[in-house]
Amino acid sequence: MSSLIRPVSRALLYRTGSSRALLATTNKAAALSIARHITTFPTRPQKSAPASRSSAPVPQNWQNLSLTTTRNASSYGGPGAGIPSYFSAPTLPANTIIRFVPQQTAWVVERMGKFHRILEPGLAILIPIIDKIRYVKTLKEVAIGIPSQSAITADNVTLELDGVLYIRIFDAYKASYGVEDAEYAISQLAQTTMRSEIGQLTLDHVLKERANLNTNITMAINEASQDWGVKVLRYEIRDIHAPEAVLHAMHRQVSAERSKRAEILESEGQRQAAINIAEGKKQSVILASEALKAEQINRAAGEAEAIKLRAEATALGIEKVAAAIEAGAQNAQNAVTLSVAEKYVDAFSKIAKESNTIVIPSQMGDVGGMIASAMGIYSKVSEQQTRNQLVLNTTATEEPNWKDKEDKKKKDSYKDVLLEEFDNAKDKDKDRKRK
């Protein structure tokens, strides 16, 4: 019995790292028989082992046995092969009755092979033998690398993509019993979801809409992983590799786009320059016209003011002349006669100076005749004014009598009588002057 216990104990010591050799006794066949049921052996050929008395086959490299289990650690709680995954710890804590659970960690305890409870961070007391810590789950956020994979876009371009998945366990029970290998399941689901989403987009949209693509993949994975007790926080596409031909085509497209933009910008610059020049000319013409308008308005205002002043001066002079004539002053009458004669002669001089048309009066050589003609014109005007004044004075004096009469013809005949009397008096005066 002791010969059988010794190799088993040594094998267990080797498994925990306390010994470098598997066997140190003569009963090597018994130890190898036990180790064969709990170990797998590397395939690399080694030196042949010594002959064994056991009928069981003896591996050739029994000196350097690797006691790595072939069964996945997550399925039974033991140590796993190779690098431990996120969902299965390399070793499980032993039941030492009193245990301290670390922060952000959940320990799944089974009692007699059945789920019993989940240990929260802090002090935990277990019953020996019947209680066993089967799973250890971390509640921290963990990143899982998604390996590179091929995907075909909607425009039939094959892309190589890889990414990073950020996950967190929210239910340790579901993560332990809801799926065999949650990491593998989520990794495969992320790859298939990525292929499905990329198949709906063209290459340009894949390159432009990374954020939307990441969001869609995250939502799709979360819908499927609810029963696994795992929540996907975010998914990030790390690298996108396109074929060389596609890359060259993209470079040519970028060059053409840059050239197009340069030509458009140049034409826009020329167009804007032409618009600016035309706008400047327009503004200059508008300003010039406004200046001319202001000048004409000012000039017209000045001329109007000058005409007004001249008219006022003329009116004032006429009023003074009329006052002098009305007063009957002989000097005023002579002054009027002289003024009319001067203006008559001056008008002929202006006509001869400023026009090609020459007007020659019949009495050009006789200045006295010209003056007499001017005086005749003045006399006629003065005579007509005198007649009108006489009629007005007479009718104004007799107005009360005429208002009482209905026949206005009598009033008109009365005016005719007055004018006739005035003409007779005038003729008599002329005859008297001739005599």
Mean pLDDT for the stretch of residues 7-27: 39
Which of 120-124, 271-275, 295-299, 387-391 is least confident?
387-391
Task: Please tell me the predicted confidence (pLDDT) of residue 417.
Answer: 66
More confident call, 189 vs 59: 189
Check residue 396 and give its pLDDT. 53
| Tokens encoding 246 | 């596609």
CA dihedral in degrees (178, 180, 186, 188; nearest 10)?
Answer: -140
User: How far is 14 from 19, CA to CA, in rounded Å?
Assistant: 5
- Residue 225 confidence (pLDDT): 84
Q: Is residue 137 within 8 Å of residue 176, measured between CB atoms?
A: yes
Note the pLDDT of residue 153. Answer: 87
Q: How many CB atoms lie within 10 A of CB 321?
A: 14
- Give the Cα separation of 329 and 10 in Å (integer): 167
Angstrom distance (rounded) from CA 152 to CA 196: 9
Whole-angstrom distance, CA of residue 346 vs CA of residue 340:
10
The CA-based angle 391-397-400, given to 5 degrees, is 120
* Res 277: pLDDT: 92
Better-predicted residue by pLDDT, 25 or 250 = 250
Q: Which residue is associated with the tokens 């064994």?
A: 52
d(CA 213, CA 432): 131
**Tell me, what's the pLDDT at 383?**
65
4 or 209: which leads in pLDDT: 209
Please give the residue that has the higher pLDDT: either 340 or 136: 136
User: In the prediction, which pLDDT does 250 show?
Assistant: 82
Residue 32 near residue 23, CB atoms below 8 Å: yes
What pLDDT sits at residue 107?
85
Which pLDDT score, from 0 to 100, does residue 4 have? Answer: 40
Which of residues 184 and 423 earns the better pLDDT score?
184
Please tell me the class of the 142-242 domain.
alpha beta
What residues form DSSP beta bridges with 235?
A: 165
CB 289 within 8 A of CB 281: no
pLDDT single digits (tens) 227-251: 888 888 989 888 888 888 888 888 8
Predicted confidence (pLDDT) per residue in 381-428, tens digit: 666 666 666 666 655 555 445 445 455 555 556 666 666 776 777 777
> pLDDT tens-digit profile of 65-83?
333 333 333 333 333 333 4
- For residue 126, count other CB atoms closer than 10 A to its CB: 21
Residue 112 has pLDDT above 70, yes or no: yes
Closest Cα partner for 24 from 59, 62, 75? Answer: 62
Strand 98-101 vs strand 105-111: parallel, antiparallel, or unpaired? unpaired
Q: How far apart are the first and last CA of the chain?
A: 198
H or E element, residue 256: helix 244-327
Domain with CATH 3.30.479.30 in the chain: 142-242
Q: Note the residue count of the chain.
A: 435
pTM: 0.41
Cβ distance 194 to 149 under 8 Å?
Answer: yes
- Kindly give the pairing relationship between strand 105-111 and strand 131-138: antiparallel
Asked whether the predicted pLDDT for residue 117 surpasses 80, the reply is yes
Give pLDDT, residue 273: 92
Of residues 128, 215, 118, the one with CA closest to residue 175: 118
Please give the pLDDT value at position 35. 45
pLDDT interval class at 356 (50, 70, 90): low
The 3 state secondary structure assigned to 342-379 is HHHHHHHHHHHHHCCCCCCCCCCCCHHHHHHHHHHHHH
Q: Which helix (H) or strand (E) holds 74?
A: helix 73-76
Query: Span 189-200, mean pLDDT?
Result: 89
Q: What is the pLDDT of residue 126?
A: 86
Q: For the purposes of burial, counting CB atoms within 10 Å of the CB of 257, is it exposed (0-12), middle (13-18) or buried (19 or more)? A: exposed
